[in-house]
Chain A
Amino acid sequence: MKNYSKVIQNIARAMLRAGLVDEVVAFGRDSPASDIIPLFITDERDVEKIVTVSYYPCSLAQLVALYGDKNKRIGMIVRPCDARAMVELAKRRQVNLDNFYIIGIECYGVLRTRNKNEEIYIFPNEMEIDGELKTLDEGILSPNCRRCEYPIPTMADVSCRIEPNGESSVTANTEKGRAVLAAANISSQQSPSDRTAIKERAARWQEKDFGELKKMNRDERLKYWLNQLDKCIKCYGCRDSCPLCYCEVCNLCPEKPLIQGGEIPPERLFHITRLMHVGDSCCNCGQCEAACPMGIPLSRLYHMLYKELSSIFGYESGLNVNSLPPISSINEEDLVKTGVDLG
Chain B
Amino acid sequence: MNISKGQAFEPKILGFLCNWCSYAGADLAGVSRFQYPPNIRVIRVMCSAKVNPTYVMKALLDGVDGVFIGGCHIGDCHYAMGNYYTRRRVIMLKKVLEIMGIEPERLRLEWVSASEGIIFAEVMKDFTQVIKNLGPNPLKSRR
Contact = CB atoms under 8 A, between A and B. Distances in A.
A224 B102 CA distance: 12
Contacts of B142: 222, 226
Contacts of B119: none
In this complex, the interface size class of chain B, counting residues with CB under 8 Å from chain A, is: 20 to 34
Contacts, number: 95
B87 A276 contact: no
A340 interface: yes
Contact of A269 (B54, B75, B103): B54
B101 A218 contact: yes
A222 B139 CA distance: 9
Interface in A218-252: 218-226, 251
A341 B87 contact: yes
B81 A327 contact: no
In this complex, the interface size class of chain A, counting residues with CB under 8 Å from chain B, is: 35 or more
A222 B54 contact: no
A338 interface: yes
Contact of A272 (B81, B87, B96, B101): B96
Given A279-B96, A340-B110, A272 B88 contact: no
A174 to B, nearest CB: 31
A276 B95 contact: no
Contacts of A219: 101, 138
A93 B73 CA distance: 32
Interface in A119-157: none
A342 B140 CA distance: 31
A340 B99 contact: no
B53 interface: yes
A138 B81 CA distance: 47
A308 B84 contact: no
A226 B109 CA distance: 26
Given A275-B96, A330-B85, A312 B53 contact: no
A195 interface: no
Given A326-B88, A334-B87, A276 B96 contact: yes
